[in-house]
Structure 1
Amino acid sequence: MTAADADAAALPPEARRARCRGLLPGLLAWLAGLVLFLPVAWMVLTSLHSESDAATNPPSVAASLTLDGYRTFFGAGGGTSPWPALINSATAGVTSTVLVLTLALPAAYALSIRPVRKWTDALFFFLSTKMLPVVAGLLPVYLFARDTSLLDNIWLLVVLHTSMNLPVAVWMLQSFLSDIPVSLVEAARLDGARLPAVLGRVVAPLAGPGIAATALICFIFSWNELLFARALTAVTAQTAPVFLTGFITSQGLFLAQVCAASVVISLPVLAGGFAAQDKLVQGLSLGAVK
């Protein structure tokens, strides 16, 4: 018997039952994590199979591994290169995220630290813009883009992604900035700091984790957006999700290629989340405990 088992046996029955009850949430969390991770692991494994092995029913788990799907994705087989689409997605995601933060931070400041009149009405107005289904605005946006010669233009997607993510960013940043002590802002104002200096030197450093979490979520939304990108782009401004749909055909097998493309397209988001995981956890937990 180990020392840990001896300590557990020495506990009273009530303490042992409480300890077992405390282990249950952790086990359920691990089980939920494994269940959610299983499709991702299956996608990665399928991407390493040949098309014939990936299409078997039931799937052949022990089939030989190959990188043919990744070679096809990167155009090694004479196909279209994915780099223009990946660059377009990065351009739209990074630029729209920077614009969203630039516009949302002053708005959140006005709705939390120095609230304007009827700030709750303004906040709910921001939220109400997300209640309209995105597909309902597709036709007007398409007609506008056609009449202004903005079809297949990446900057139109930048504007659309900025407008789509701005309400979410304002709501998130408002909840983060409401935890900043007003006395610090007032002290900076008494020292003669103007609004840009207050936002850049006082508010932004204190709300850094929240800003990082908001930026990552806005970037993910922009990177994954498909509806407008599919309808408003063709070749020049094609994004990564649109490029991914090109592997789905009505003839032949394509499952391994689609999985390989999905893995590659998911890597930038996973890398960004892994790099900012500490800030993301801190940001999403701000305001949770008052």
Structure 2
Amino acid sequence: MARAVTTRRKAVNTAIAWTIGLLIFFPILWTFLTSFKTEAEAISSPPAFLFFDWTLENYGAVQERSNYFRHFMNSVVISIGSTVIGLIIAVPAAWAMAFVPGRQTRNVLMWMLSTKMLPPVGVLVPIYLIFRDFGLLDTRTGLVIVLTLINLPIIVWMLYTYFREIPGEILEAARMDGASLRNEIIHVLTPMAVPGIASTLLLNVILAWNEAFWTLNLTAANAAPLTAFIASYSSPEGLFYAKLSAASTMAIAPILIIGWFSQKQLVRGLTFGAVK
């Protein structure tokens, strides 16, 4: 029998949830508001929250100084490209770990995840030299390769978790009906794990979109994504907070909108298999 939840308890839980949500969202809101201030108002003390002279001059200055659309397209190509290639590699890898018997599966997964614990700066020099020698510096191809390799452990881990929730008997029935390994993965396994694959895709697009370390160190101008676009507003002359906020707002707006409209699918995928 389900335990009844009182109206007071619901109200308290709702208030706590809203408070936590507002605290998490506040930096984004403050950045958005600062982007409409003048530079003097952006550093004023005490700061003005809503009552200030709203202006669009920062967005105009950002557009005049930088080619936003070029940086935006670089981010789209790099984030989506690295995620799609990662999924192509990770789906069969996660299938093998989930459905092929073996005692070493957990060890392999832990080894893959342990690579995420290495500080990126520890391998910056060898990767930089490899990219220089192969002509991959400041190219979209180079960034797609490095971000695919960086996020691949997370993609495999997530897909492995989702695949484990799918009954193996279904795949065995497909084999008995004459399905090849390729058809088993593409036509049987993948459609059943669409929620998990969708959430994995969305999460890794966000991770690749927000990646700053590698994009700042392996690009200069041609392949620079929006993270480099934001960093360009940190100059020896100082920080221009209003213009920096405008650039940040323009950089996070696309991924924020995508996350907002796909939140139902994302939550569904992240909770896939949690309730039986």
TM-score (norm 1): 0.88
What code does the residue aligned with 1:73 have? V
Asked whether the equivalents of residues 100 and 162 of structure 1 are also in contact (C-alpha less than 8 Å), the reply is yes
What code does the residue aligned with 1:40 have? I
Report SS of the residue matched to 2:116. coil
Q: Give the Cα separation in 2 of the matches to 1:138 and 1:33.
A: 36
1:135-154 Cα shifts (integer Å, max 9, x gaps): 11111111212222322122
What code does the residue aligned with 2:250 have? V
Q: Which residue of 2 aligns with 1:25?
A: 13
Q: Give the Cα separation in 2 of the matches to 1:25 and 1:60.
A: 31
Q: Pick from 39, 48, 66 the counterpart of residue 80 of structure 1.
A: 66
Q: Which residue of 1 aligns with 2:252?
A: 266
Q: 1:274 to 1:197 in 2, by over 3 A?
A: farther
Q: Give the Cα separation in 2 of the matches to 1:132 and 1:47.
A: 36
Q: Pick from 29, 32, 38 the counterpart of residue 44 of structure 1.
A: 32
Q: 1:64 to 1:105 in 2, by over 3 A?
A: same
What code does the residue aligned with 2:105 have? W
What code does the residue aligned with 2:22 have? L
Q: Which residue of 2 aligns with 1:230?
A: 216
Q: Give the Cα separation in 2 of the matches to 1:225 and 1:19.
A: 43
Q: Which residue of 1 aligns with 2:228?
A: 242
Q: Give the Cα separation in 2 of the matches to 1:182 and 1:198.
A: 11
Report SS of the residue matched to 1:179. coil
Asked whether the equivalents of residues 79 and 208 of structure 2 are also in contact (C-alpha less than 8 Å), the reply is yes
Which is further off, 161-170 or 37-46? Answer: 37-46
Asked whether the equivalents of residues 233 and 239 of structure 2 are also in contact (C-alpha less than 8 Å), the reply is no
Q: Which residue of 2 aligns with 1:5?
A: none
Which is further off, 225-234 or 114-123? Answer: 114-123
What code does the residue aligned with 1:39 have? P
Is 1:65 aligned to residue 54 of structure 2?
yes
CA displacement at 1:204 relative to structure 2: 1.5
Q: Pick from 154, 157, 173 the counterpart of residue 187 of structure 1.
A: 173
CA displacement at 1:288 relative to structure 2: 2.4
Q: 1:16 to 1:110 in 2, by over 3 A?
A: closer
Q: Percent identity?
A: 39
Q: Which residue of 2 aligns with 1:6?
A: none
Q: Which residue of 2 aligns with 1:196?
A: 182
1:33-77 Cα shifts (integer Å, max 9, x gaps): 1111222111111111122221212222311111111112222xx
Which has the higher Rg, Structure 1 or Structure 2? Answer: 1
What code does the residue aligned with 1:46 have? T
Q: Give the Cα separation in 2 of the matches to 1:289 and 1:18.
A: 24
Which is further off, 115-124 or 17-26? Answer: 17-26
Report SS of the residue matched to 1:130. helix
- The residue correspondences of 1:74-113 to structure 2 (distance < 5 A) are 74-75=63-64, 79-113=65-99
Asked whether the equivalents of residues 52 and 253 of structure 1 are also in contact (C-alpha less than 8 Å), the reply is no
Q: 1:58 to 1:110 in 2, by over 3 A?
A: same
Q: Give the Cα separation in 1 of the matches to 2:166 and 2:31.
A: 43
What code does the residue aligned with 1:44 have? F
Is 1:276 aligned to residue 265 of structure 2?
no
Asked whether the equivalents of residues 110 and 116 of structure 1 are also in contact (C-alpha less than 8 Å), the reply is no
What code does the residue aligned with 1:69 have? N
Q: Give the Cα separation in 2 of the matches to 1:275 and 1:18.
A: 32
Asked whether the equivalents of residues 78 and 140 of structure 2 are also in contact (C-alpha less than 8 Å), the reply is yes
Q: Which residue of 1 aligns with 2:42?
A: 54
RMSD, matched Cα: 1.9
Q: Give the Cα separation in 2 of the matches to 1:116 and 1:202.
A: 22
1:210-256 Cα shifts (integer Å, max 9, x gaps): 11111111111111111111111111111110111111223266111
Q: Give the Cα separation in 2 of the matches to 1:17 and 1:277.
A: 26
What code does the residue aligned with 1:50 have? T
Q: How many residues align?
A: 273
Q: 1:119 to 1:81 in 2, by over 3 A?
A: same
CA displacement at 1:110 relative to structure 2: 0.9
What code does the residue aligned with 1:33 have? G
Is 1:129 aligned to residue 115 of structure 2?
yes
TM-score (norm 2): 0.92
What code does the residue aligned with 1:102 have? I
Q: Give the Cα separation in 1 of the matches to 2:4 and 2:157.
A: 44
